[in-house]
Structure 1
């Protein structure tokens, strides 16, 4: 039978409903089609309880989801919260639909995840790009400077909102409070894709979360740094500058009508755990990560990102000074049963959460130390991922390019043409090319550099990059 090892069910209505369904299973004449039987396809469907006629009645008379969302809103000091079973991808696109109209301009960090850039396509928004500063020593992104946001809003006075991502994929933290001031001085909301920051604000050694810093909307992934199911995410908003009804409409327009109850229940459980035990659990994880950083910092030539502008629970390593190839190090880690979030020739990123222990971090650090020693070679110049170096050249609005007549041409012949597709090295899923951008020699070189560094090219119609889809004419 299912268990509640930390006694969270009494403060988590969705978790309680999931446990009750499993404790007293009905004989359902509803979806899902497995009807709670595990003798057909196995345990892969165990625990799959729907929201409708599962965690609640088909007519939602129990209000369990609404209760859980209100508790999350209270915890993050938001006016409204919506749970998502489609990850931050769904949440980003829902918010894009909520803040502006077809053809409106919005200020957008060019290094946001592809989900938001495709949200521009869905909503018909025209981006005004801003970019983060780049650290000269590591080649990795810092935060978007508030001055860049102010300049963009001054140059585009009709812009309706500001979208940034913070913290970055590698864990660097920017000046969200300064960006919020810039947006609010212009009278527009700040939306922060904080997918990697569900734990922020819940321990004194962690940065404050975006809503605490003045943001109007925070999108975060409960499954990234909290113990929730994959695809669990939250949209948290203050409604002074956001229309709550339109936000609801955006969420519903892009969400599944058959949400997975286990994802929702795990989101609720993760919230309850964070509220009750978060500071204690996060404190242990932070201390263990600090010890791992200290051990890794002793490796000659290995750069370890650290400091006040860094998420204490992200291990980001730059290997250029060691000469070791990060892809080879990753293979060693996989052989040791220690997969990491991201690895290419120069950079390794490991995600730590409150589920990690001092033992797991010590083992990871030891394997990295041994692998770097095994693969050490002549130091390389620090160049950083190509994703962060390419300047976007927008030729047409993203939506127009996405739906335009297109053709596939050899990549070498695509320079000067307008991209009809989104192409992103993954991870982190930050596009080098987005629909509507002109292909330049620099973007072509950046994609080739990413391939050479061992990064998978994602979302392109031709992942080999022999060809690229461009608009006709």
Structure 2
């Protein structure tokens, strides 16, 4: 379903401002330094228009950003909306600064991205970790249960907020309505990192988005499943339990002072497209993904996530039963020009968006099916990604550990020591080890498994895992 972006401009003030800039280019004596000249470093800077003295005046006298954010708030049913050019990473950290104070406890799902953990460091918050239920058939997370959160709040009555990541990286959807009910019974807000759910709530075959289900704050990435620039995200909130002034201060404290106007315009354009044509575009993508999923479900011994608690636009495959190595399958797909979001030995994740078509998805399904058959071998035991199995053992607050004096020790000698660094197999970037956590044999085993499965070990000072950074005694 082709669409003309110029037809969106009357409903998208930032997009309109970007198009006006292109139609009547000024001779700027402002940043950025390329001054719109693509003959200097090439088209890499084409379309780069700043917010200040670009989409708006240096004094923001036209108010196009505020108008665009107001329209997004209305679409998602929020009282508060801010656009982010720092991705959901920036948004998560802004919310962490907004909902509690230095030293406060917060309930945190272990399915959350490392950006929230660094937000805890910035805000000085102490996490009370809650773990997701794990499907024994696949080793993948199914969501944090409301009962688990209830028990954590009973044990920690001074906790100021509940932070949940949902849907999970692999596309599984938890009980947000139940979690909201529990959080509100204890008088605290529910914050949902819904980075992968910008499309939720805009088609009857999709789950409702967190604000529709009672969450107080929703962070989402406009660039993951909507057609916005990379790094484009939104913070959306209902402010009954969250102070909008604190949210505003948190966003400003962690945002760049030179936001990319083109990126902001892309959020506005994606919102306008979603509002105008989202249902029709999503309908085609959902149907085409369903056809590919049904085809993959016919492959012998291949496990494909499916059902009402799975995002219809996420294709997550567990390859263990086929014996095929996901790293080898990924190489085939790369050679065919069909890169995937994530692949390790056992799990492969493909992301579908409203930009996909039956044609692109059919090609993907054909190449994927052929590669799995090419690499089929002896079945393996399903272990599941390391991040979902580890039981964190808190020994010090994350902020204290982050700034503590540290040293490197050999990997196998680290058991019993307190971590001074964050180590997360990536993707999805969920910590296996975080600052302030005691290193256990289980931790080391999970990291070994991730490394042997072909996952990139991210954020560690030594990505080979020969050594780990620990707090000095």
Taking structure 2 as the reference length, what is the TM-score of the superposition? 0.99
- The residue correspondences of 1:281-300 to structure 2 (distance < 5 A) are 281-300=281-300
2:467 alignment counterpart: 467
RMSD of aligned Cα (Å): 0.7
| Corresponding residue number in structure 1 for 2:22 | 22
1:129 match: secondary structure: strand
Question: How does 1:56-205 map onto structure 2 within 5 Å?
Answer: 56-205=56-205
Say if 2:407 is the partner of 1:407.
yes
Mapping 1:225-304, distance limit 5 Å: 225-304=225-304
303-312 or 5-14, larger mean C-alpha shift: 5-14
Separation in structure 2 between the aligned mates of residue 463 and residue 262 of structure 1, nearest angstrom: 35
Residue pairs, 1:29-48, within 5 angstroms: 29-48=29-48
Residue number in structure 2 paired with 1:366: 366
Deviations 1:7-43 (A, max 9, x none): 1011000000001011111110100000110110010
Structure 1 residue 413, shift from structure 2 partner: 1.1
Structure 2 CA distance for aligned equivalents of residues 382 and 421 of structure 1: 29
Mapped to 2, the partners of 1:293 and 1:90 lie a distance apart of: 34
Q: Alpha-carbon deviations, 1:292-342, whole Å to 9, x = none? A: 001101100100100000000000000001000000000000000000000
Query: C-alpha displacement at 1:5, in angstroms?
Result: 3.6
| Cα distance per residue 1:351-383 (max 9 Å; x no partner) | 000000001111111111100110000111111
The 2-side partners of 1:86 and 1:4 are apart by 27
Q: Residues of 1 paired with 2:386 and 2:222: CA distance?
A: 29
Match of 2:349, SS? strand
- Give the Cα–Cα distance (whole angstroms) in 2 for the partners of residues 306 and 107 of structure 1: 29
The alignment covers a number of residue pairs equal to 471
Tell me, in whole angstroms, the C-alpha distance in 2 between the residues paired with 1:5 and 1:202: 20
Runs of 4 or more, structure 1, over 4 Å off, are: none
What residue in structure 1 maps to residue 323 of structure 2?
323
Post-superposition offset of 1:4: 4.8
1:240 & 1:446 partners in 2: Cα distance?
41
Mapped pair 1:210 → 2:210? yes
Task: Supply the distance in 2 between the matched residues of 1:353 and 1:375 (Cα, whole angstroms).
Answer: 28
CA drift at 1:386:
1.2
Whole-angstrom CA distance in 1 between matches of 2:384 and 2:334? 23
**Which residue number corresponds to residue 446 of structure 2?**
446
Describe the superposition over 1:200-245 as per-residue Cα deviations: whole angstroms up to 9, x where unpaired: 0000000000000000000000000000000000000000000000
SS of 2:7's equivalent in the other structure is: coil
Partner SS, residue 400 of structure 2: helix
- Distance in 2 separating the partners of 1:5 and 1:273: 8
Q: Deviation digits for residues 361-413 of structure 1, max 9, x if unmatched? A: 11111111100110000111111111110100000000000000001111111
Structure 2 segments unaligned to the other structure (5+ residues)? none
Alignment match, 2:430: 430
Q: Which runs of 5+ in 1 are unaligned?
A: none
1:6 offset after TM fit, Å? 5.6
Residue 456 (str. 1) matches residue 456 (str. 2) = yes
Distance 2:434 2:362 in 1: 40
